[in-house]
Amino acid sequence: MNFVELLTQREFLISVLAAVSAAAVVFTFGSSFIVKSEMRDRIKRVALEREKMRAEEMARLRGGGIAASDSRGIRRNGETKTYMKNVVERFDLKKAFQDDATVDKLAMAGFRGQGHLTTFLFMRFVTPLVVFALGAVYLLVLAPGGRPLYLNVTYAVGAALLGAYLPNLLLKNTTTKRQASIKRAWPDCLDLMLLCVEAGMSMEHAFKRVAKEIGAQSVELAEELTLTTAELSFLEDRGRAYDNLGRRTGLDGVKSVMTALIQADRYGTSVGQALRVMAEEGREQRMMEAEKKAASLPPKLTVPLILFFLPVLFIVIMAPAMIKVFGSPVSSAMGGG
């Protein structure tokens, strides 16, 4: 038996899929027990962003450019591999794949900087080619299946078209998880921010303090608040820092709070009053979402109830009667004999 026949056997493919599934289960349950220094790495990246903004603001105030050594030191961690950058520039992938919302979508997923943009454009270009190559090798060499050549090529092209959506799908999945984490911790963040403001703290110190406290509940929200603290310190317009926070999160609740803070800062109204109103709305919205989930629970339980609970219940209730009914002729016959 050669290698090609081994790869095309059904038992071998089933064994490979079972091994991959078992490894995925072990990794899923084992990763929850591994303590990661995710918070430290995120805060480190935010510190680099803060230093970058500080250097840009200092250069703007001085009217000159940033020193070459400082600029390279700030951007070194944000750069991607050289071959990715060369491919993006050679094929002009920014014009082909980048639009006005690409940078915002990457920011909502937690990917900021030119390096992440270059990596995303490179993956959008390479993923269909890789999927087509793998599909063509499998369909034409490993498992032709007696199909015509054009049909196998068509299947490979179809797999490549599906692979073209894979980077966007992964980006959307990452964005959804990040937004869920921020949305879950946002009402508590508003309450803490309200306490800090009413205690006499400025908005910069309030954001900094809340970022430190909220990190145990949501690392993503702590990262965004820390970056907003840096923007409040270095940007000339405070409203721009608030607007950037709402744009990076992409959540309506965060955007409404930032709009209220912008209006309070622009018209001189009470920031504490605005935060108090928004905190009450956040608590009410979280309660409404909990009630909505509780109301949707009975319809979701209908199908499992019909499939799993009712048959067992019928068996438990009717089994004694059926045993008595079908066992009575046998017992009477034995008694008559």
- Domain range for 220 is 182-288
pLDDT of 145 reads: 74
Residue 257 inside a domain? The answer is: yes
Residues of the chain with pLDDT under 50: 35, 64-79
pLDDT of 286 reads: 83
Q: What is the 3-state secondary structure (H, E, C) of 130-150?
A: HHHHHHHHHHHHHCCCCCCHH
pLDDT of 125 reads: 92
pLDDT of 55 reads: 66
pLDDT, tens digit, for every residue of 286-326? Answer: 888 889 888 888 888 888 888 888 888 888 888 888 888 88
Residues 110 and 178: beta-carbon distance below 8 Å: yes
Residue 3 inside a domain? The answer is: no
Residue 113 inside a domain? The answer is: no
- The whole-angstrom separation of Cα 18 and Cα 5 is 19
Burial class of residue 184 in the structure, from the number of CB atoms within 10 Å of its CB (0-12 exposed, 13-18 middle, 19+ buried): middle
- The whole-angstrom separation of Cα 303 and Cα 130 is 41
Q: State how many domains the chain has.
A: 2
- The whole-angstrom separation of Cα 148 and Cα 140 is 10
Residue 273 inside a domain? The answer is: yes
Nearest by Cα to 229 from 95, 87, 65, 47: 47
Question: Tokens 């454009």 correspond to what residue?
Answer: 121
Residues 227 and 113: beta-carbon distance below 8 Å: no
Residue 70 inside a domain? The answer is: no
Q: Is 99 helix (H, G, I), strand (E, B) or coil?
A: coil
Residue 228 inside a domain? The answer is: yes
- The whole-angstrom separation of Cα 125 and Cα 119 is 10
Residue 315 inside a domain? The answer is: no
Pick from 53, 68, 87: which residue ends a domain?
53
Q: Return the sign of the alpha-carbon dihedral for residues 118, 175, 223, 263.
A: positive
CA terminus-to-terminus distance, the chain: 66
Residue 256 inside a domain? The answer is: yes
pTM for the model: 0.68
